[in-house]
């Protein structure tokens, strides 16, 4: 896997598949990026599980905080690492000890550890490094474009919401990097036979 560049299809597949995300290193400080990312993903319908030994036993946005991954009483689909890269191997080892194992290890923006990535991939997990799922979600759903940010997503249609209020948005948009998606192909009008 080339961890310098990810295909939009790969990122989209992860974000469309995972349901529960354990965020290791989340902060209760409302001005920290980990808090923003946690809150954003929670509001989009992901089952967010905060992991921070300094906050263990407390609640963060209505979710019980755990000291470590092994303390979480339910299966986790993705482990989002908000710790420095020197901690990544230990966190991946802890994730690999879970039963069932998570499907994805995601290292946040600015975090890269190739040994941790090799360990996870060698055990069949998908890995993303130096990216933020909040940013990727916003970019792929075109939600971030509402704020005037160029997402490289080509569409004239507002993204479809799943359910009521702020929930998960469809990530099946046409992107410059990723090409047409199944939804985009289905949306194309068939040629008129009489013209």
Using DSSP bridges, classify how beta strands 59-60 and 63-64 pair: parallel, antiparallel or unpaired: antiparallel
Q: How confident is the model at residue 1 (pLDDT cuts 50, 70, 90)?
A: confident
Report all structural domains of the chain as residue ranges with CATH numbers, in order of start: 8-132 (3.40.50.720)
φ/ψ (deg, to 5) at 179? 75, -170
pLDDT at 191: 46
CB burial string 76-93: b at 16+ within 10 A, e below: bbbbbbbbebebbbebbe
- Per-residue model confidence (pLDDT) at position 142: 75
Q: Is the whole-model pTM more than 0.85?
A: no
Cα distances (Å, whole numbers) of residue 162 to 27, 127, 171, 177, 192: 28, 26, 11, 24, 32
Whole-number Å distance between alpha carbons of 135 and 139: 6
46/86 Cα distance (integer angstroms): 27
The predicted model gives 159-171 an average pLDDT of 51
pLDDT reported for residue 159:
53
pLDDT digits (tens, 9 = 90+) for 84-139: 999 999 999 999 999 999 999 999 999 999 999 999 999 999 999 999 999 999 88
């Amino acid at each position: 896997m080339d961890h310098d560049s990810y295909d939009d299809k790969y990122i989209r597949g992860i974000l469309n598949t995972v349901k529960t995300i354990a965020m290791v290193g989340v902060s209760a400080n409302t001005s920290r990026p980990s808090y923003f990312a946690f809150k954003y993903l929670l509001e989009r319908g992901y089952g967010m599980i905060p992991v921070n030994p300094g906050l263990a036993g407390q609640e963060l946005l209505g979710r019980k905080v755990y000291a470590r991954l092994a303390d979480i009483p339910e299966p986790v689909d993705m482990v989002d690492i908000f710790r420095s890269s020197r901690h990544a191997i230990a966190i991946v080892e802890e994730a690999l000890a879970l039963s069932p194992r998570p499907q994805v290890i995601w290292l946040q923006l600015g975090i890269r550890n190739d040994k941790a990535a090799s360990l996870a991939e060698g055990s069949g997990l998908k890995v993303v490094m130096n990216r933020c799922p909040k940013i990727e979600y916003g970019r792929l759903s075109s939600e971030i474009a509402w704020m005037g940010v160029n997402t490289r997503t080509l569409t004239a249609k507002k993204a479809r919401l799943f359910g009521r209020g702020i929930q998960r948005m469809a990530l099946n948009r046409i992107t410059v990097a990723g090409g047409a998606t199944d939804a985009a192909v289905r949306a194309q009008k068939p040629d008129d036979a009489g013209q």
